[in-house]
Chain A
Amino acid sequence: NAGVTQTPKFQVLKTGQSMTLQCAQDMNHEYMSWYRQDPGMGLRLIHYSVGAGITDQGEVPNGYNVSRSTTEDFPLRLLSAAPSQTSVYFCASSRRGLSAGELFFGEGSRLTVL
């Protein structure tokens, strides 16, 4: 049982480059979300989705785009990478939304922007 799979695990970009962080879950979860984690800042919500075709902004959405064409996949796109986007990114999913309980996290993607 794979759970939540994120790729790549590590990535180095130059300022201005674009890239997509992939997230896939095999648990048929409706809810998916992206967080970034920076030292001393905790986990900050970037975007989330309550089902295929539905996305919404979190606390820190600027510079990121998402789409949800299938239940399984929730990619995060960096349009023009900036050093401030250097972070560890976590994708998480939940079966029925937040009130139902547990968020399952992927292992994280460490991004460095030079």
Chain B
Amino acid sequence: QQPVQSPQAVILREGEDAVINCSSSKALYSVHWYRQKHGEAPVFLMILLKGGEQMRHEKISASFNEKKQQSSLYLTASQLSYSGTYFCGTGLQGAQKLVFGQGTRLTINP
């Protein structure tokens, strides 16, 4: 099943913070985060593995709670360039399928 992302959409002013959540009903081995700008291909941000550490990409960080099968993406002091749709993808142990959530559209206004 697809992981569930929340919220579906966020509107921020430049410099504000945001949190995007991703939850699954299955025991996860990995969580991947991607950003897609309109009309472009998704671009990799980071991967979190079971038993691994919290990851960071510029001012974006993410955590992975294995017990709750949840991951959160934290965008700190958002910049205009952070606008786009964020997708989480989840992987199971031993499986090579990456299943994506429905996406969270982030709009950053000046």
A106 with B91: CB separation less than 8 A: no
Which of these, B29, B41, B89, B91, contacts A107 with CB under 8 Å? Answer: B41
The smallest C-beta distance from B39 to any residue of chain A, in angstroms, reads 9
Whole-angstrom distance between the alpha carbons of A41 and B99 in the complex? Answer: 12
Total number of residue pairs linking A and B with CB closer than 8 Å: 62
Whole-angstrom distance between the alpha carbons of A63 and B43 in the complex? Answer: 28
Query: Which residues of A lie under 8 Å from residue B42 when comparing CB positions?
Result: 43, 90, 103, 105
A42 with B44: CB separation less than 8 A: no
B47 with A102: CB separation less than 8 A: yes
The smallest C-beta distance from A23 to any residue of chain B, in angstroms, reads 12
- A54-109 contacts to B, CB under 8 A, are 56, 58-59, 90, 97-99, 101-108
B103 at the interface (CB under 8 A from A): yes
Task: List B residues at the A interface (Cβ < 8 Å).
Answer: 2, 29-30, 32, 34, 40-44, 47, 49, 87, 89, 91, 95-103
Task: List A residues at the B interface (Cβ < 8 Å).
Answer: 31, 33, 35, 40-45, 48, 50, 56, 58-59, 90, 97-99, 101-108
Other than the known A42-B103, A58-B97, A98-B97, what 14 A-B pairs have Cβ atoms closer than 8 Å? A33-B98, A42-B100, A44-B100, A45-B97, A45-B99, A45-B100, A59-B97, A98-B32, A98-B96, A98-B98, A99-B91, A102-B44, A103-B89, A107-B40
